[in-house]
């Protein structure tokens, strides 16, 4: 005779209890993964990144006759116009890009007024306020962008913010509510609540394992229940 504590039905009851408790623990995170996944799937990423707020760059003629750049080490060279008629030179290296004027001198940062004027020509935001950013902050809207930056916005629309490289004048990011929702849901999705960028946190690994266990136990219960019903 098979003991009631060791038979197939007893094993099924134990697995059902484990499945119930593991599913209870993971249910909230599974819901957050689903909700964030729905947002990522249905909201266009280019819209989230704010490309619609930027003007497309226009082709221009570069005057290279006045450039006097001494020999410098680097991996690549870039030319761009910062202020009207001002050609600047970017030298790429392992530690980032260094910017120089046409005489080979290190480029001075844009002033607040210059940054506002540039942002008005390169975005649709029409900023009238500027704030200097020269330190990295975990979880900030401008994380990963080259420093220093100008943070630019219009007083009547403070939720739309442009971040401009203070040296090159490039608008490196535009943040708005759709991006903030994306960023918030992304932090829930990868379970990185501080810097919102770290993939592979111990929480994510733990709940991924629990979610896998929930699925595996559920499949085992489905197969074993069907097999038992056929035997009966």
**pLDDT given at position 113:** 97
Identify any residues that bridge with 132 across adjacent strands, giving them in sequence order. Answer: 150
Q: Record the tokens describing residue 93, joined without a space.
A: 């290296």
Q: How confident is the model at residue 1 (pLDDT cuts 50, 70, 90)?
A: very low
**pLDDT given at position 93:** 81
Rounded CA gap, 207 and 29, in Å? 8
Question: Does residue 95 come out as left (phi exceeding 0), alpha (psi in the -120 to 50 range) or beta?
Answer: alpha
Among 28-37, 148-157, 160-169, 209-218, where is mean pLDDT lowest? Answer: 209-218
Answer whether 121's CB lies under 8 Å from 83's CB: no
Instruction: State pLDDT tens for residues 145-203.
Output: 999 999 999 999 999 999 999 999 999 999 999 999 999 999 999 999 888 888 888 99
Nearest to 105 by CA among 70, 152, 57, 81: 70
**Model-level pTM?**
0.81
- pLDDT at residue 42 above 50? yes
Instruction: State pLDDT tens for residues 45-76.
Output: 999 999 999 998 877 777 676 676 666 666 68
């Amino acid at each position: 005779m098979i003991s009631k504590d060791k038979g197939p039905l007893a094993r099924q009851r134990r697995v059902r209890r484990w499945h119930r408790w593991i599913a209870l623990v993971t249910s909230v995170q599974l819901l957050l993964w689903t909700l964030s996944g729905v947002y990522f799937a249905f909201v266009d990423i280019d819209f989230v990144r704010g490309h619609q707020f930027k003007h497309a760059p226009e082709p221009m003629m570069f005057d290279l006759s006045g450039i006097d750049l001494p020999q410098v080490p680097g991996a690549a060279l870039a030319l761009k116009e910062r202020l009207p008629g001002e050609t600047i030179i970017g030298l790429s290296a392992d530690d980032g890009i260094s910017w120089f004027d046409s005489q080979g001198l290190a480029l001075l940062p844009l002033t607040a007024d210059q940054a506002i004027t540039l942002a008005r020509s390169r975005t649709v935001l029409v900023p009238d306020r500027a704030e200097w950013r020269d330190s990295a902050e975990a979880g900030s809207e401008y994380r990963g962008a080259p420093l220093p930056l100008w943070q630019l916005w219009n007083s009547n629309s403070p939720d739309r913010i442009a971040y401009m490289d203070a040296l090159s004048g490039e608008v490196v990011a535009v943040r708005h509510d759709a991006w903030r929702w994306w960023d918030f849901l992304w932090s829930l999705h990868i379970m990185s609540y501080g810097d919102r960028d770290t993939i592979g946190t111990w929480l994510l690994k733990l709940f991924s394992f629990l979610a896998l266990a929930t699925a595996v136990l559920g499949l085992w219960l489905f197969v074993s229940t069907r097999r038992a019903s056929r035997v009966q």
